[in-house]
Amino acid sequence: MQKEENMENTLKLNTKRTIYIALGFFAVLMFWQVFNFYVPLILRVMLMDMGVENFNTIIGMIMSIDNLFALLFIPLIGILSDRTKTRIGKRMPYIICGVALTVLIFPFIPVLFMLGSGWGAFGGALAMMAIVLIAMSIVRTTAVALVPDVTPKPLRPKANAYVNFIGYIGAILAGGIAMIVHADLVKDQSAMVLIPFIAVSLIMVLMIALLFRNVKENKVLAEMEAELELGEKMAETEAAKRPDRKLTRQDKINLAIILGSIFLWFFAFNAVETFWSTYGGYTDNLTGEVIGGVLGGGSLVGLAVIVLPVTSLITFPFVIWLNKKIGQKWSVIMGISLMLVPMSLLILATSLEGIQGFFVLLAFASCGAGWAMINVNSFPMVMNYANKNNKGKFTGIYYVASMSAQTLTTVIAGLFADYVFNDDWRFLFPYAAIFMAGALVLMLFYKRKQQTEVIAEEAKAATEEIDDEKFNF
């Protein structure tokens, strides 16, 4: 018994280091929040100025490019970084190079938008987007893979909560910028559109500098070797306990279910995330044109972008407690439900003003809480099936599921807007609710052992297999 307690005590999360690692995720989320808010608006203005019809379909296709690049590059970068060895680590070189390329190119997107006109400027903006999106695919893969690299498996959901907590501060910061530089300024091609892109670039440099200075990847891996090995032995899957063994049949079924669910909820959420600024800024058939004001037009659209990550931020610490009470599966199911219900109710919205404006904000708050419950658990649930030699590979598998959904959903939503709903974006929330409901149904088939059984088996296996002297603390 004393031996089991000693082993459990060795697995303590290094909170300070986890927070520094989370700065990479801070930069990633801030970037994507700004990109998804402003780029669809910029593309819309440029295409309308050129007299292009069916521009929603084109925007959807362009907005899917980032996810297509991610789909192509993330598995490759994950495997490549697994095999990389440098004096600054295997993930850090990719993070630094990707961020450097991003901050150099990102501000040129609004520059071309404001100063150029016609197909030349449009093509230049697309080229800048392509370079930035490739760079950020590299950053996202390696920054996320760094977390399981230095975190024992039993502690990964807790670490993921910290990472998401810090990351969503970046999203909140981006939401604040969206309230100041709102959709109307993009329509007017104001020079203020430069502000979000320059601000993100500067803050990304600061965040990655702090990460690099405070987390020496090779040193941390050497210090964590014993704890990481213990975490492998305490894993819930046989393949994770023994790297030479393959996934069991039940492991494969569970992995397929969680990947399918990830696909469906990203299919739902990314459509809302990508086209929310379009819905709020251009949907003039909600009962008259949306106008400015405390809860109208750009102000509400930007405020909703803040409300969602704020409620996620508040929920992250609660998820750790909830996981212990009901397990990861039911935490995820609860999170899906908290998103499905408000998405379904938003079908009834006819205005973004007054009491309905407050209702919209409450709906986004509920979605934020639900998204936190999903995000804290989904990536660790996939990584439970990885072993110490293939974390990058399974990071890639996770992103194949999520990015393929995001690639398809923006294109399909754009097609619906142009060819079915005549630029009436009120279909957005019913569309999202259907796929979120599919994720809920699929997750009900996910089978896991009771938490008490898992803990008992982990402790027993660890007691039998771990050398006494190696873990003599």
Q: What is the pLDDT of residues 54-85, one digit of tens each?
A: 777 888 888 777 777 767 777 777 778 878 88
pLDDT value of position 391: 67
Q: What is the pLDDT of residue 448?
A: 66
Q: Would you say residue 467 has pLDDT above 50?
A: no
pLDDT for residue 104 = 92
Query: Is 455 inside any structural domain?
Result: yes
pLDDT of residue 281: 59
pLDDT surpasses 50 at 106? yes
Q: What percentage of the chain has pLDDT greater than the value 90? A: 11
Does 403 score more than 90 pLDDT?
Answer: no
Q: Is residue 106 part of a domain?
A: yes
Most confident by average pLDDT, 38-52, 180-194, 293-307 = 38-52
Calpha distance 105→311 (Å, rounded): 32
The overall average pLDDT reported for the chain is 77
Q: Say if 432 falls within a structural domain.
A: yes
Express each pLDDT in 191-243 by its tens digit.
788 888 999 899 989 988 898 888 887 887 787 777 766 666 665 544 445 55
Domain that holds residue 238: 13-465
Lowest mean pLDDT among 97-101, 152-156, 348-352: 348-352
- Is 68 within the bounds of a domain? yes
- Residue 7: inside a domain: no
Domain assignment of residue 471, yes or no? no
Q: Provide the domain count of the chain.
A: 1
* 262: in domain: yes
- Report the Cα 357 to chain-centroid distance in Å: 26
**Tokens standing for 194?**
């430069």
pLDDT tens digits, one per residue of 284-325: 444 333 333 333 344 667 677 778 878 888 887 788 788 888
Q: Once rounded to an integer, what is the mean pLDDT over residues 435-461? A: 66
Question: 378 pLDDT band (50/70/90 cuts)?
Answer: confident
Helix, strand, or coil (residue 450): coil
Q: Please check whether residue 426 lies inside any domain of the structure.
A: yes
Alpha carbons 149 and 220: distance in angstroms, whole number: 10
Structure confidence at residue 333 as a pLDDT band (50, 70, 90):
very high
pTM (global) more than 0.75: no
3-state SS class at 245: coil
* Residues 408-433: b if buried by 16+ CB within 10 A, e if exposed: bbbbbbbbbbbeebeeebbbbbebbb
The CA distances from residue 417 to 56, 57, 367, in Å, are 6, 8, 23
CATH of the domain at 155: 1.20.1250.20
Residue 352 has what pLDDT? 64
pLDDT, residue 87, reads 86
| pLDDT given at position 296 | 39
Query: What is the mean pLDDT of the segment spanning 159-180?
Result: 80
Measure the CA–CA gap between 349 and 357, rounded to whole angstroms.
9
Q: Lowest-confidence range among 163-167, 378-382, 390-394? A: 390-394
Which of the two residues, 278 and 86, has the higher pLDDT score?
Answer: 86
pLDDT bracket for residue 10 (50, 70, 90): low
**What is the Cα–Cα distance from 34 to 466, expressed in whole angstroms?**
48
